[in-house]
Amino acid sequence: MWAAVAQLGLPTPNGVDGDIEAIAQILADSDGSLALSSGDPSAVNCKIFPGAVRFFDFEEACFRHALADATVLRFLSPTGAPPWRLPQEIALSMEMTYRTELALACALAQDDRRYEQGMAAAVAAWTIVRLARLPKMDVGPDRNIWLALPPDWSQPAPARSRKRQLVAILEVCVATTRRAAAFDAFAAWCERLADALRKRWPEGAGELPLYPAFLNEKSV
């Protein structure tokens, strides 16, 4: 990732080595914090059936830190998101519900400091993984069609901007690490990098639209 950043003339990640080591240490902690992880947290890998939810796409599955897949609650999919975002109050409610259930089996979800620090580490790790794609993103193509649509979808299939989504991942990483008061150097670099990418990629600066289902909600 560092080579890719240097190759594109983007802000260099000076002073982040200590944060990277701390992130890796938190995610390697096996003290009651491991859970079966699909390795591809995404809303489209959850299929809703009457009275049940079934999970798919387990070829990368193994035991990971319990919050590795919970990052989907902060950005809708670290491995490739839909072209929309959720209203903030909906996202917060989802995460609160998830954390309440997780706390029944995982002690870190009962402790605000450990939970927020773990979420920050997991979000930062996914951010690093996605930044490996920087050179490919820079040359494009940028937009592709989102095909994971409801059976009754009658409008043209929406397109999503990969560049905008990578910037969104950086934005979420900054917000999450600041919320946890953790990894200050890494957060500062992500903020500088996001600013530089918005200037480099005009398509990376626009606001992500809401899911169509929420466009007419008065609370939004």
pLDDT digits (tens, 9 = 90+) for 61-103: 899 999 998 998 998 766 777 888 889 999 999 999 999 999 9
**What DSSP string describes the chain?**
-HHHHHHTTPPP-TT-HHHHHHHHHHHH--SS-EEEE-S---GGGEEEETTEEEE---TT-EEEETTTGGGGGTSS-TTS--S-B--HHHHHHHHHHHHHHHTTT-GGGG-HHHHHHHHHHHHHHHHHHHHTTHHHHHHS--EEE-----TT--SPPPEEEHHHHHHHHHHHHHHHHHHHT--HHHHHHHHHHHHHHHHH-GGGSSPPPBPGGGTT-TT-
pLDDT digits (tens, 9 = 90+) for 102-151: 999 999 999 999 999 999 999 999 999 999 889 988 998 899 898 888 88
Cα–Cα distance measured from residue 26 to residue 117, given in angstroms and rounded to the nearest whole number:
8
pLDDT digits (tens, 9 = 90+) for 145-200: 988 888 888 999 999 899 999 999 999 999 999 999 999 999 999 999 999 999 99
Cα–Cα distance measured from residue 207 to residue 154, given in angstroms and rounded to the nearest whole number:
24
pLDDT given for residue 46 in this prediction: 79
* Residue whose token pair is 């990052």: 71
Instruction: Please state the pTM of the whole predicted model.
Output: 0.89
Residue 220 predicted with pLDDT over 50: no
